[in-house]
Amino acid sequence: MNRRRFLGITGGSAVVACATYYAYSDKSNFVRASLKPDTPVITELTTDERHILFLASLAPSGHNTQPWLIKYMEPLHWIICNDKTKWLTAVDPAQRETILSIGAFIQNLEYAANNLGYRCQFSLLANTNQDEKVMEVKLIRSGNLFRYDTRTIIQRRTVRSNMLSEALKTEDVRLLMANEPDFIRFVPRTTKAYHYLNEQTIEANKIQSYRNAAQKELADWIRFSNKDAEKYRDGLTPGSMEIEGISGWVVRNFYGKTNVMGNSFRDQNIKQAEQQVASSAGWFLITSKDASVKSLIETGQRMQRLFLKVRDKNIAIHPMTQILEEPAIHQNFNSAIGINEPVQFILRTGYVKNYPEPVSLRRPVDWFICP
């Protein structure tokens, strides 16, 4: 065999191998629309109960851990529990964000139940952020139907890219803050506080990206491959991190935990945070009265009420919580920003031209019901 023929054969084999590899690779992001309908396993749940819990589970949570469990007592009577296996001990050592996320879950649950004609009777059970039983809820059939368009729950999503810097209209800000002026502040782009929030978010991202425990925790919650995304149905996927095109294909097929611990991934994180804060209309800050479980749950509910209003106005929300998670940055934050109450959410916001579809995954209802 001459050299040219040899190269022709080996070159051809390489092309075939590449084409075969590509054909079997994860060619597109595994997103919510890729999920097949679930087959109900726990049969005692009525259609209403299942639907209410499904909608509740569409709440946001840090790293999409979905830290809730439902203890099923009897029909229409449940205890909402805190799933300690989902805690983010490196970035949320006091489970502050866990309780806020459970608050958002409770808000969705209430809207979904109201829409089906149930009133919710809640009793707080937890004294600390670590207690397993958080809230008892009884759903009571009520004559008064409070219509809530649950499509807003289904369509809500975190948007991290392509935020515009154009100012938010006064009437939009007013609508988003309606009835909550004591606990929600809007920090527009024209203020000194805005620039402080931008700078400190970048600083906190630099610290967190090089804090190994935080980076390892992030690695544990990234579902790079479609196989893992479908298996776990939680965490951050390339789709939810808005990694598309060739970059998406590369991370889906070649990335794993060790890449997250490498310097180039950490530096990319920081670069991305810099790019993100460079474009926005401002920040929403959500405060609470104090740090009690009750206040944190109310704050999670408040955040979710705001979050559910934005899509109709083409406004994106991107929680960026690193300032609150890094003690070296957090310690000066309140005095620098001139706020006395604890800040629980830092949300980057701005208009977007095209609102993307929701893509983050959720576990099926049966997976978060405990006996």
Ligand X SMILES: Cc1cc2nc3c(=O)[nH]c(=O)nc-3n(C[C@H](O)[C@H](O)[C@H](O)COP(=O)(O)O)c2cc1C
Beta bridge partners of 319: 347
Residue 135 Cα distances to 77, 209, 254, angstroms: 11, 34, 42
| 129-133 contacts, C-beta under 8 A, 24 or more apart | 129/82, 129/94, 129/95, 129/96, 129/98, 129/99, 129/293, 129/296, 130/82, 130/84, 130/95, 131/82, 131/293, 132/81, 132/82, 132/84, 133/71, 133/79, 133/81, 133/82
| Closer by beta carbon to ligand X, 114 or else 201 | 201
Beta bridge partners of 340: none
Of 85-114, which residues contact ligand X (CB under 6 A)?
A: 97, 100-101, 104
Which of these, 295, 297, 306, 362, lies nearest to 136 by C-alpha position?
Answer: 297
Of 281-310, which residues contact ligand X (CB under 6 A)?
A: none
| Closer by beta carbon to ligand X, 95 or else 114 | 95
**In angstroms, what is the minimal distance from the CB of 307 to ligand X?**
8
Binding status of residue 240 toward ligand X by CB under 6 A: yes
**In angstroms, what is the minimal distance from the CB of 271 to ligand X?**
14
Biggest CA-to-CA distance, the chain: 87
**In angstroms, what is the minimal distance from the CB of 361 to ligand X?**
9
**In angstroms, what is the minimal distance from the CB of 322 to ligand X?**
6
Determine the interface stretch with ligand X among 141-149, 219-227, 318-326, 349-357 (rule: CB under 6 A).
Answer: 318-326
**In angstroms, what is the minimal distance from the CB of 197 to ligand X?**
13
| Closer by beta carbon to ligand X, 139 or else 184 | 184
**In angstroms, what is the minimal distance from the CB of 63 to ligand X?**
6
Binding status of residue 31 toward ligand X by CB under 6 A: no
What does the per-residue mask of binding to ligand X show for 323-362, with x meaning CB under 6 A? -----------------------------------x-x--
Binding status of residue 62 toward ligand X by CB under 6 A: yes
> At a CB cut-off of 8 Å and minimum separation 6, what does 159 contact?
316, 317, 318, 352, 355, 356
Q: How many residues at the interface with ligand X, by CB under 6 A? A: 21
The residue nearest ligand X at its CB is: 60
* HSE (side-chain half, CA atoms, 13 Å) at 222: 22
Question: d(Cα 114, Cα 121) in Å, to the nearest integer?
Answer: 11
| Closer by beta carbon to ligand X, 70 or else 277 | 277
Question: d(Cα 143, Cα 61) in Å, to the nearest integer?
Answer: 33
Which of these, 240, 339, 336, 241, lies nearest to 289 by C-alpha position?
Answer: 339
As a whole number of Å, the CA-based R_g of the chain is: 22
- Count how many residues are written for the chain: 371
**In angstroms, what is the minimal distance from the CB of 113 to ligand X?**
20
Please select the residue that binds ligand X; options are 49, 54, 60, 109, rule is CB under 6 A: 60
Determine the interface stretch with ligand X among 22-30, 112-120, 289-297, 320-328 (rule: CB under 6 A).
Answer: 320-328
Record the tokens describing residue 110, joined without a space.
């209430």
**In angstroms, what is the minimal distance from the CB of 359 to ligand X?**
7
Binding status of residue 57 toward ligand X by CB under 6 A: no
What is the separation of C-alpha 47 from the centre of its chain, rounded to a whole number of angstroms?
Answer: 26
Q: Which residues bind ligand X (CB under 6 A)?
A: 60-64, 97, 100-101, 104, 157-158, 160, 236, 240, 318-322, 358, 360
